[in-house]
Chain A
Amino acid sequence: MAIQKQYYRRKKVCKFCVERIDSINYKDVKLLSQFVPERAKIMPRRISGVCSPHQRRLTDAIMKARNIALLPFATE
């Protein structure tokens, strides 16, 4: 018998799919910084709920932004 979950967990949805954001650009710091928490690491999919194709592009964009000092590699 399956144990029923006692609390209701909200279903996570991919921000980029829902809001139809086509381009994840490395220059868009405002958008990217939503996915880099305090320690400046890239937020994992299990927390943000981003779908895998978009997560791939997001990671790519964040890495480019880091390279040109728009986003930090780590917080000091």
Chain B
Amino acid sequence: MRNYEIMFIVNPNVADDEIDKINSQVEGIITSGGGTVVKVEKMGKRRLAYPVEKFRDGSYVLFTITATGDVVKETERRLRVMDAVIKYLTVRMDEEIRRQEKIKAHRQKRALRRSTNSANRQAPEQSIEEQ
């Protein structure tokens, strides 16, 4: 099981409740394949950087999921078939998440070391003043 992000662009002329329908469909594909949907985010309508299928705008939807490669494959196949979806992108996130946890842990360790060091340094100074 890996973490993925699936982002797709829906035809701008499609209504909001239609998008919800597509979302539940995609969710169904993922859950039936044994995956779990962590988050669904509708990013709203925004301008495309370049025309896609002659559309200049599109509604973005972002899925954050945990699933196997086969589920992703199936989801991509289904997205390709859907008429309303004009573009999609799947990104693997597990390595990125792991990297960030590593950085975070490293930073915490350093901060801890720094605080103890400064505490040690301050202690003798105070004792000198007391004398």
Q: What residues make up the interface of A, taking CB atoms closer than 8 Å to B?
A: 22-23, 26-27, 64, 66-73, 76
15 more A-B contacts (CB under 8 A) besides A27-B62, A66-B49, A69-B49? Answer: A22-B100, A22-B104, A23-B100, A26-B91, A64-B89, A68-B88, A69-B9, A69-B48, A69-B50, A69-B52, A69-B58, A70-B49, A73-B49, A73-B50, A76-B50
B100 touches A71 (CB 8 A): no
The residue among B58, B91, B104 with the most chain A CB atoms within 10 A of its own CB is B91
Size category, B interface: 10 to 19
Chain B residues positioned under 8 Å from A68 (CB to CB): 7, 9, 60, 87-89
Question: Is B123 engaged at the interface, CB distance under 8 Å to the other chain?
Answer: no
Q: Is B125 an interface residue (CB 8 A)?
A: no
Cβ B89 vs Cβ A67 within 8 A: yes
Asked if B103 and A22 sit within 8 Å, CB to CB, the answer is yes
A72 surroundings in chain B (CB, below 8 A): 49-50
Complex-state Cα separation, A72 to B48, whole angstroms: 8
Q: Are A71 and B49 in contact (CB under 8 A)?
A: yes
Most B CB contacts (10 A, CB to CB) among A23, A71, A76 go to A23
B83 at the A interface (CB under 8 A)? no
The answer to whether A69 touches B100 (Cβ under 8 A) is no
Contact sample, A vs B, 24 pairs, CB 8 Å cutoff:
A22-B100, A23-B96, A23-B100, A26-B91, A27-B7, A27-B62, A64-B89, A64-B91, A66-B49, A67-B89, A68-B7, A68-B9, A68-B60, A68-B87, A69-B9, A69-B48, A69-B52, A70-B49, A71-B49, A72-B49, A72-B50, A73-B49, A73-B50, A76-B50
